[in-house]
């Protein structure tokens, strides 16, 4: 079976070798077995069902949660010469009828549908017609949506277990990039995958550099990061609220960036227009809530930035994983402060969920705070959450510029005492004013200039105090009264106050000059002549994509253009060995690419 699979990999998709566990997964499904696949974004999950679909008789049904993802996948498959279609609510009648007729007549290799469409009586009837010609497999993409513990829960996914009952002889493959042990067990149980073999690939994305900075002026920090390292490149900026999305997009646009907003409160045509621009144009920055991104298949996203704290490591991993799907260097950047911690804890407390859900949400948030506050390798901490051991990566901020740790016990005791003496009725700003002994009207009004804790922290700068309070909340030594925003002591603070427990803290490193950081732009090591040729290749790709009505990366990835640039093949036969150029793309684009390369030689 593997020989046939390898032939399809090479001829259709243009890749010389399988990666990781792809070959084993393909063999399992092609032979009729069920599988649960956990593989990082950009790891090649799609090939794990696309190749078995071409190896097995009949049509493969791919369940996908987003129309944009379906359309991109189908466009890419058609460019590679595969018979594929999607059936969704956004199609006109003619297009929909054509796809449904081809499916019913057994003339498609793959058909993409949403879970809602798959569960409809009409599609059940259509499946009955197609079944006469054979059903190759069912692929359930973004399978973490089936779990109520997952960050993208979709109730419709819970009903997909019927596939096992209705089509017991048809293999099923469930795929996701993000699932902790609890979510994995939910997927297996809810999809009735009791006999499935579980494949867990490494969660590591070595091309992504993880960076978390202390919030000062978050928008200014974001702008400096983008100008210094990602000018003219595509990326995503995540914000928690719709209002912040709109304001941040307007701010970046006013600063000369091509920034567009995306959130669920926008009119559908505006939202879809902005999404299309992001997918089909170069250098667009999408500012969005988490409503944007799941299933977005754009490979050349060079950065993902967070201006607000996500809810969990799963959410953080899933969102940052949208960067660098092509394997080229990318950044995951986040600005994080005390207000983020307070806001997330308040959201958990005020949510309508039951106590069990709230406990799990709190534990997930604590794990994320541990990632933010760690002085060790961030990648190591991230991978450990998913049960994967690794050494220090050398490519995250804490590896490249290690923070200092210091014994913060005395400072923490002073802070806890001051919170207590001021009546546990104030936020961090007021308590810091008291600790620093400031001559402030509000401090005097409450008589806090007469407290024994007044001025006992004057030797520590305000910025450092804010970091201390952030870490105290993250460590659970202080909680927030969500009705009034006041800091209150927790049971965990007692042993610290009694002198029974030390508190090591993290001190952020001094920021180095940007000039000392080597550029990670994908074109940074090109000569002037190579850069000019690279831009000509990109311009040809953009024009070709426009003519075909598809995003540019559906024609060729940046990584393929760079390989063409470096290999400089002089014949179609030599070009056939460039990764990402299969037989159909060689036939369609080979001659034009040779002309461009020869003109640039």
**36, 161: one domain:** yes
Lowest mean pLDDT among 5-9, 102-106, 294-298, 595-599: 294-298
**362, 265: one domain:** yes
pLDDT in tens, 231-240: 999 999 999 9
117 HSE (CA, 13 A, CB side): 22
The token pair that represents 161 in the structure block: 């277990």
Sign, CA dihedral 419-421-425-427, equals negative
Residue 53 CA: distances (Å) to CA of 32, 56, 96, 197, 296: 11, 5, 22, 18, 22
Decide if 516 is inside a domain.
Answer: no
**493, 572: one domain:** no
**312, 244: one domain:** yes
| Whole-angstrom Cα Rg for the chain | 27
Residue 481: is its pLDDT beyond 90? Answer: no
Return the bridge partners of 173, or none: 35, 139
The token pair that represents 56 in the structure block: 């097995």
**108, 247: one domain:** no
Decide if 35 is inside a domain.
Answer: yes
Q: What local confidence, expressed as pLDDT, does residue 2 receive? A: 63
**125, 215: one domain:** no
Mean pLDDT to the nearest integer, 32-55: 93
pLDDT in tens, 380-409: 999 998 888 999 999 999 999 998 899 999
Q: What local confidence, expressed as pLDDT, does residue 360 receive? A: 84
For residue 545, give the CATH number of its domain: 1.10.150.80
Decide if 512 is inside a domain.
Answer: no
For residue 32, give the CATH number of its domain: 3.40.50.300
Residue 483: is its pLDDT beyond 80? Answer: no
Lowest mean pLDDT among 73-77, 457-461, 510-514, 591-595: 510-514
Q: Strand locations in 399-526, DSSP E? A: 404-407, 478-481, 486-489, 504-507
**372, 432: one domain:** no
Question: How many Å apart are CA 488 and CA 127, to the nearest integer?
Answer: 59
**Mean pLDDT, all residues of the chain:** 91
Q: How buried is residue 372: exposed, middle or buried, by Cβ count under 10 Å (0-12/13-18/19+)?
A: buried
Q: What local confidence, expressed as pLDDT, does residue 518 receive? A: 61
Question: How many Å apart are CA 70 and CA 62, to the nearest integer?
Answer: 9
**390, 414: one domain:** no
Decide if 579 is inside a domain.
Answer: yes
- Domain limits for position 543: 528-599
Residue 42: is its pLDDT beyond 90? Answer: no
Q: At what angle do helices 378-385 and 313-320 cross, to 10 degrees?
A: 110
Q: What local confidence, expressed as pLDDT, does residue 331 receive? A: 97
Cα 492 → chain centroid: 34
Decide if 521 is inside a domain.
Answer: no
Residue 528: is its pLDDT beyond 80? Answer: yes
Mean pLDDT to the nearest integer, 288-309: 87
Mean pLDDT to the nearest integer, 553-580: 93
Mean pLDDT to the nearest integer, 251-270: 95
**247, 232: one domain:** yes
The total number of structural domains in the chain stands at 4
Question: 3-state SS of 530-550?
Answer: HHHHHHHHHHHHHHHHHHHCC
Rounded to two decimals, what is the model's pTM? 0.84
């Amino acid at each position: 079976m593997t020989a046939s699979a390898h032939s399809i990999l090479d001829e259709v998709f243009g890749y010389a070798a399988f990666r990781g566990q792809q070959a084993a997964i393909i063999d399992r499904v092609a032979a009729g077995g069920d599988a649960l696949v956990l593989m990082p974004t950009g790891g090649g999950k799609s090939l794990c069902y696309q190749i078995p679909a071409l190896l097995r008789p009949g049509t493969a049904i791919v369940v996908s949660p987003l129309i944009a993802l379906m359309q991109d996948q189908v466009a890419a498959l058609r460019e590679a010469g595969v018979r594929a279609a999607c059936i969704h609510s956004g199609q006109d009648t003619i297009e929909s009828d054509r796809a449904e007729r081809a499916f019913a007549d057994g003339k498609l290799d793959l058909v993409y549908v949403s879970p809602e469409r798959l569960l409809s009586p009409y599609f059940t009837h259509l499946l009955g017609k197609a079944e006469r010609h054979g059903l190759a497999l069912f692929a359930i993409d973004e399978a973490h949506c089936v779990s109520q513990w997952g960050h993208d829960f979709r109730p419709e996914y819970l009903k997909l277990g019927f596939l096992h009952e209705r089509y017991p002889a048809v293999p099923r493959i469930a795929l996701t990039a993000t699932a902790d042990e609890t979510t994995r067990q939910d997927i297996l149980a809810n999809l009735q995958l009791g006999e499935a073999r579980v494949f867990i690939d490494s969660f590591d994305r070595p091309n992504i550099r993880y960076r978390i900075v202390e919030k000062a002026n978050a928008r200014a920090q974001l702008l400096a990061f983008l100008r210094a390292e990602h000018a003219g490149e595509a990326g995503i900026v995540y914000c928690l609220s719709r209002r912040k999305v709109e304001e941040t997009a307007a701010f970046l646009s006013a600063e000369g960036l091509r920034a567009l907003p995306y959130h669920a409160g926008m009119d559908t045509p505006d939202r879809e227009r902005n999404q299309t621009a992001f997918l089909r144009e170069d250098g667009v920055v999408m500012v969005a809530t988490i409503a944007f991104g799941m299933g977005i298949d754009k490979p050349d996203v060079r950065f993902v930035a967070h201006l607000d704290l996500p809810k969990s490591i799963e959410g953080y991993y899933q969102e940052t994983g949208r960067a660098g799907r092509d394997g080229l260097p990318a950044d995951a950047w986040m600005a994080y402060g005390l207000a983020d911690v307070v806001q997330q804890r308040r959201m958990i407390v005020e949510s309508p969920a039951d106590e069990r859900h709230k406990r799990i949400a709190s534990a997930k948030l604590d794990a994320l705070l541990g990632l933010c506050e760690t002085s060790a390798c961030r990648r190591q901490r991230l991978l450990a959450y998913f049960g994967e051991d690794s050494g220090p990566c050398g490519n995250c901020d804490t590896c490249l510029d290690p923070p200092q740790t210091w014994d913060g016990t005395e400072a923490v005791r002073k802070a806890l005492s001051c919170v207590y003496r001021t009546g546990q009725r104030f936020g961090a700003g007021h308590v810091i004013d008291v600790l620093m002994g400031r001559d402030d009207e509000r401090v005097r009004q409450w008589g806090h200039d007469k407290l024994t804790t007044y001025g006992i922290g004057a030797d520590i700068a305000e910025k450092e105090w804010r970091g201390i309070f952030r870490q105290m909340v993250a460590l659970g030594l202080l909680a927030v009264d969500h009705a009034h925003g006041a800091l209150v002591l927790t049971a965990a603070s007692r042993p610290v106050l009694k002198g029974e427990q030390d508190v090591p803290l993290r001190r952020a490193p001094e920021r180095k000059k940007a000039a000392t950081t080597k550029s990670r732009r994908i074109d940074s090591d090109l000569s002037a002549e190579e850069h000019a040729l690279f831009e000509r290749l990109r311009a040809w790709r953009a024009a070709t994509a426009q003519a075909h009505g598809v995003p540019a990366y559906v024609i060729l990835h940046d990584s393929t253009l760079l390989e063409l640039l470096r290999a400089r093949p002089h014949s179609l036969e030599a070009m056939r060995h460039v990764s990402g150029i299969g037989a159909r793309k060689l036939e369609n684009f080979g001659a034009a690419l040779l002309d461009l390369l020869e003109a640039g030689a």
